[in-house]
Structure 1
Amino acid sequence: MLVTRVEAEVGGVMLPYGPAALCAVEREIPVPGAMFGIDEDGVTTLRQLQLAVPLHTGTHTAIFAFSTEDVDQWDNYLQVMAEILRTVSADEPETEPHSTAAEPAAG
């Protein structure tokens, strides 16, 4: 696949878990019209956020990535990703999820 243009912003961010590296990339990607049953080829813009979180073990990295062609909603998607990344934890997950809803009565 041929990529016609790539722009990227890179940097670091501090998460509750610890430091992470981020890269926001925007690409213009040719789309063959034949994929959609039309004669003319087109171009689409794809934006992606990649976040590399070094794990506390020191030997591995977790990569989180989000991609969209809906670049008009990018800021909203970033807010969602930020909320997700705030939940990254070194703590082991609980074996049973909590429920704030009342248990149904036996009947």
Structure 2
Amino acid sequence: MDSLSDYDETVIPPLWFSIPETFHALPLADSPEERARLAAEFVRECFPNGDEESWAPVAAFYGELAEMMTVVGGIAYSAIGLFAIEEGIAHCSLAVAAVPSGHTDPEVAAQGIRATLASEPGNDVRWVDLPCGPAVSCISVREVTFGPDITKSGEPISFNSGQIQVHIPFPTGPYTAVFTLDTSALKYFGEFCDIAAAILRTVSFAEPEENEENEENRAAE
């Protein structure tokens, strides 16, 4: 069980969830230099059979991803999922954040979140009843552009990326857990939705049984 100690446990309640072994925790750090170094180490561990030419653009990509997560703020956990497919490897990013929501009733909070997300065109917003309580899912597809500094060709690349985001208000407030899964492998988007659903079914605001500790990841402690 991983413990993330970036949060004051007297303020943010604890949260647990399980992830598949195909996910690899993405290192986050305070400075851009440290994030770049950790991203390079991360890529070498995930792709041990690669070389400097193949590692460099991938490390830059994950470094940029870490930068984006840092800007968002409130990130308690982040990971990259790698899955073997016919074409090679499909990957996705997973981030779990705890954001202030100031609520006292999780159902009322979820209703407000649903109304806000549904007001934006292109969002597929749905109410979800999870074992841990009410939640709101939001699925969207948007164009993403990466600059020439992180692409292998040295040219900017634009592509469509699918996002699955689920907001789960803490039952005791005043925070909302936000699970975000992004992937550009839209051909397999249905499978990624299934993966996200499986993870969300494991979310718990109560400490899991001791015999399940090895399978659980604690997102805030």
> Bigger relative contact order, structure 1 or 2, given CA contacts below 8 A and separation 6+?
2
Distance in 1, matches of 2:127 and 2:212, equals 32
Partners of 2:211 and 2:153 lie apart in 1 by: 51
Whether 2:199 is the aligned partner of 1:84: answer yes
Alignment-derived partner of residue 114 in structure 2: none
Per-residue deviation, 1:41? 3.9
Q: What secondary structure sits across from 2:123 in the alignment?
A: strand
When residues 87 and 39 of structure 1 are mapped into structure 2, their CA distance, relative to the original with a 3 A threshold, is closer
Gaps of 5+ in 1: 1-5, 100-107
Q: What is the CA distance between 1:80 and its match in structure 2?
A: 1.1
Is 1:71 aligned to residue 186 of structure 2?
yes
Cα distance between partner residues in 2 of 1:20 and 1:68: 21
Please give the alpha-carbon distance, in whole angstroms, between the structure 1 residues aligned to 2:160 and 2:195: 20
Partner residue in 2 for 1:36: 151
The structural deviation recorded for 1:94 is 3.5
Q: Aligned-pair distance for 1:35?
A: 3.5
Deviates more, 1:61-70 or 1:33-42: 33-42
For 1:61 and 1:23, the matched residues in 2 are separated by 14
Larger radius of gyration: 1
SS of corresponding position for 1:19: strand
Gaps of 5+ in 2: 1-120, 215-221
Higher helix share: 2
The 3 A distance-change label for structure 1 pair 77 and 43 is same
Paired AA for residue 63 in structure 1: V
Indicate yes or no: 2:121 matched with 1:13.
no
Distance change in 2, residues 1:95/1:10 (3 Å): same
3-state secondary structure, aligned to 1:7: coil
Greater percentage in strand: 1
Aligned-partner residue type, residue 172 of structure 2: T
1:60/1:46 CA distance change after superposition, 3 Å: same
Q: Distance in 2 between matches of 1:37 and 1:97?
A: 42
Deviation at 1:32, TM superposition (A): 3.8
What is the root-mean-square deviation of aligned Cα atoms in Å?
2.4
- Residue 54, structure 1, aligned to residue 169, structure 2: yes
* Shift in CA distance, 77/39, structure 1 to aligned 2, threshold 3 Å: closer
Residue 198 of structure 2 aligns to a residue whose secondary structure is helix
In the alignment, which of 139, 148, 159 is matched to residue 24 of structure 1?
139
Q: How many residues are treated as equivalent by the alignment?
A: 94
Q: 1:36 to 1:16 in 2, by over 3 A?
A: same
